[in-house]
Amino acid sequence: MGLKELLGEELFGQVTAALKGKGKDNKDVELIINDGNYIPRTKFNELNEKVKSLEKEIATRDEQLKDLAEKAKGNEELTKQIAALTEANAKTKAEYEAKLKDITLNTAIEKALTVNQAKYVDLLVGKIDKSKLVLDGEKVIGLDEQIAGLKEAFKDLFGETRITGKDEKSNPGANPNQKPISEMSMDEYAKWWQEQNK
């Protein structure tokens, strides 16, 4: 739902007029609607820690299986069991790495859509083809091109000022010491988002 629909045209006009020039460097303040689709940083960190823990556990098990395989030479049944366990460990590791990659991509996509003033982030997230995106540290290669395509194809879904429904402090532009969203790293954005939604 857009800002006009939430506030009505008259109140929308008053709010946008009141926020003109109130941001950093006398720019207009941009407000964001929180539709609950963002992943809190604590949840991301929790999942990330689980993945790291499982990777260590899998590495330890792989090492134990190698040792056991050496000792089990000549015992065909035991060798088959070790091979099955090794395969299961590799599959588990791949599944968790895929989940972590998906969470990272979703966060990057939502941030990029927010920076590009998408009106309906949750709707547009589904329009991004994740299979064409490549993670390079915090940078997502191919995302800018897809968002440019969305902005061209769905012009009406971009560009309107948005609001959180909270006070002025929820907007990074309202705090002169706060970086604009477009200049934040994914970690800074996730931290900022979590603080705004306490």
pLDDT digits (tens, 9 = 90+) for 166-187: 444 444 445 556 777 767 777 7
Regarding predicted confidence, which is higher, 193 or 109? 109
Q: Can you give the three-state secondary structure of 65-134, one letter per residue?
A: HHHHHHHCCCCHHHHHHHHHHHHHHHHHHHHHHHHHHHHHHHHHHHHHHHHCCECCHHHHHCCCCHHHCE
Distance of CA 136 to the CA centre of its chain: 14
DSSP state of 174: G
Tell me how many domains the chain contains.
1
Position 19 pLDDT exceeds 80: no
Domain that holds residue 11: 3-196
pTM (whole model) above 0.75: no
Residue-wise pLDDT tens digits, 90-133: 888 888 888 888 888 888 888 888 888 888 888 888 889 988 98
